[in-house]
Amino acid sequence: MKKILVANRGEIAIRVMQTVKKMGIKTVAVYSTVDRNAPHVKFADEAVCIGEAPSNESYLRADKIIEVAKKLHVDGIHPGYGFLSENADFAELTEQNNIIFIGPGSEAIKIMGSKLAAKDAVKAYNIPMVPGVDKAITDVNKATRIAKDIGFPILIKASAGGGGKGMRIVEKESDLESQMQRAISEATSAFGDGSVFIEKYVTSPRHIEIQVMADKHGNILHFFERECSIQRRHQKVVEEAPSSVLSPALRAKMGEAAVKVAKSCNYVGAGTVEFLIDADHNFYFLEMNTRLQVEHPVTELITGVDLVELQIRVARGEKLQIRQEDLSIKGHALELRVYAEDPVNDFLPSVGKLSTYKIPVGSGIRVDNGFEEGMDIPIYYDPMISKLITYGKTREEAILLMIKAIEDYQIEGVQTTLAFGKFVCEHEAFRSGNFDTHFVKKYFSPKALHQKSEYEAEIAALIALKQYLSDQKLLRLPN
């Protein structure tokens, strides 16, 4: 491959292009009119505008992206994550035009894109799954019978879903009908597919995912786990690797299960197998994400592997040169997704101009960034500004460095999740490792954040007063 087009924007476009350039390959960026002066456009060797600001007129226009790729004699397309990254038709269209899609084949994307098809595919491999029904259901009476069978609480999930859409927790029978209609309606609106299914709701769950990489020669590796339990609205905000709850034996068992999931759909490239772990450390298969994950940097830091480079090597037909026994965990890494969201106002998007924007620097600090000072946060896309990642020899070191990095990160003009990230890192439940996916519900509130800010301001004022009195004393000392 001599030239790769990155069909994405922001921090992930830059992060992919950094590796592409390191490999001596030319880069092509695509952009919408609102992103004309964005950093990813400036970073690329070539850049082409593909449409207006709304993503359905630009970054989701597969036809325009292919047109640009052919015109500029591109050899491969890297989709990043989001947008067209898990679109089987786009993967197929890319291959039909003799361009390498840097991701899995369209068939694997189709299978794993449907939670029901995914469950069906992995059945033969005896991978543990949450008790429930593995067929789409719309009949409320039938749903009630199933729910009574497996026992409340239950979880209604959209088959084509993700990001918490089309998902409802039902605690009692009387709520089932209304919650089911809502889930179907939301799934239809978000994915054009109203299929939902029912499974047992795992109380006190941890969300653990395993990174896998598979080549075209039948080799599949796992790169250990990521802990993704700190979430708001079923979406991750803080991730870390490794998890504080996995024993070496459980880690090996889950890694083997993840490799089997990849085998079940003849997977090629980077993928993530997601699991739930209950309070007794039993694990259950959730789904597979057929792309690079937002949180991939924490895996790169603990394994010393560039996952994007491996994606590209695998896509061009190379055999994986690493063996499973070559891989080991070194140190600990933490990632905070820095969103332009207001934690005090239910994490709603906060758009505006970045009047001040200075990122933290230093040993053990990595910022995958897509913005510059003076830029506006567009309303058209996901409000993630950057990813702040810290690495230490121990979990405690990574956490302390994250707190310092958050304090050094200067952003004015919009509200962000920085204060929330600090709240998490300083909370006893997180520090002790004794938390689950209900962390936000259990411990976080706007009031708690306000109280913390007031306490910190009080401490700062006392320190300043002490320093002032000390200075005055020195000034009054006789010569």
The four Cα atoms 302, 303, 307, 311 give a dihedral, to 10 degrees, of -160
The active-site residue, picked from 15, 291, 313, 337, is 291
Q: How far apart are CA 156 and CA 176, in angstroms?
A: 9
Q: How far apart are CA 453 and CA 461, in angstroms?
A: 12
Bridge partners of 353?
Answer: 376
* Inter-residue contact 1 to 317 (CB < 8 Å): no
Q: How far is CA 265 from CA 115, 122, 258, 311, in A?
A: 13, 8, 12, 18
* Inter-residue contact 446 to 423 (CB < 8 Å): no
The values of phi and psi at residue 361, to 5°, are -135, 160
CA-based nearest residue to 30, from 1, 50, 10: 50
Structure tokens at 460: 């700062």
Output 438-442 pairs: Cβ under 8 A, ≥24 positions apart.
438/204, 439/229, 439/230, 439/231, 440/230, 440/231, 440/232
Bridge partners of 289?
Answer: 272
Bridge partners of 388?
Answer: 336, 367
DSSP annotation of 413 reads S
- 291 catalytically annotated: yes
DSSP annotation of 132 reads B
Catalytic positions, written as ranges: 291
